[in-house]
Structure 1
Amino acid sequence: MKRRDFINWVGLGWLASSLPIAIAACSTQTTASGDWQNVGTTAELDKTGQLLVENSPVGSVLLVGTSKSGNLIAVNPTCSHKGCTVAWEAANKKFACPCHGAEYGVDGTVQKGPATKPLKTYAAKIEGNSVAVKPS
């Protein structure tokens, strides 16, 4: 075997063995489906009655409620139509998309198009001074 062929094989072997590490480093981190993840504090939630966390371990989360109400609503606020961030309309008790007018109920179901898919929902709970969510 020539020196050049040997070096090419060693280089190819190194590249092939490094590929799984590169893929793992570039992929998004996922959590186990049953894990509760802290996304904020009760003080942050109580300040306005809602808490938007864009980079939580479970993805984007919009929590609605207060620590005293005991009835927390948690959804992924990304509109299923075009990806805009929905807002909570407390007076109408619905989520509304500012981009194209889609509306969602408190359970994430579509109430008005153009969206056809519901918002992803989360189970939410208060643990001490922390707010935690997990995929439903």
Structure 2
Amino acid sequence: MKRRDFVNWVGLGLIASSLPVAIAACSSQTPSATGDWQTVGTSADLDKTGQLLAKNSPAGPVLVVGTSKGASLTAVNPTCTHAGCTVAWKAEAKKFACPCHGSEFGVDGKVLKGPATEALKTYAAKIESNSVQVKPT
């Protein structure tokens, strides 16, 4: 075997063996993509205003609405599906509203008023040991 052929085979072997590592490093799978419960804040923070916005949580951006004493919690990704603005919870109207273009979303994340056409991503939410936790639905 010629030296040039040997070097080419070794180089090809190095590239092929590092390919799985490169693919894993570039994978978009996050802890929330596995379906596990992720802590996004404390029940004390939620109870202060009736909502908890966690922009950099392990599950991604999450807006949880409710209180630790309430029967149920609502959790959505607060990024408007129209232009990417952060929606706000309007408690009196029981809906999420986008300040940028006026899109409105129901408690279930579904579009009530455009221009958005896609629903907000929703999460199951619970309080466990004074921690607010969410899980993709």
Write out aligned runs for 1:40-55 (5 A): 40-55=41-56
- Any gaps of 5 or more consecutive residues in structure 1? none
Alignment partner of 1:126 is 2:108: no
Write out aligned runs for 1:1-136 (5 A): 1-28=1-28, 29-30=30-31, 31-33=33-35, 35-136=36-137
Cα drift, residue 125 of structure 1: 0.8
Cα drift, residue 71 of structure 1: 2.1
CA distance in 1, matches of 2:4, 2:59: 48
| RMSD value, Cα | 1.5
Report the 3-state secondary structure (helix = DSSP H, G, I; strand = E; otherwise coil) of the residue aligned with 1:69: coil
Cα drift, residue 102 of structure 1: 0.5
Cα deviations by residue, 1:43-79 (Å, 9 ceiling, x for unpaired): 1111221111123232221101111123211011111
Q: How many residues align?
A: 135
With the length of structure 2 as denominator, give the TM-score of the two structures: 0.90
Cα deviations by residue, 1:31-51 (Å, 9 ceiling, x for unpaired): 433x22211111111122111
Report the 3-state secondary structure (helix = DSSP H, G, I; strand = E; otherwise coil) of the residue aligned with 2:108: coil
CA distance in 2, matches of 1:26, 1:54: 22
CA distance in 1, matches of 2:67, 2:123: 16
CA distance in 2, matches of 1:7, 1:54: 49
> What is the letter of the counterpart of residue 128 of structure 1?
S
Q: Percent identity, aligned pairs only?
A: 73
CA distance in 1, matches of 2:120, 2:132: 20
With the length of structure 1 as denominator, give the TM-score of the two structures: 0.90
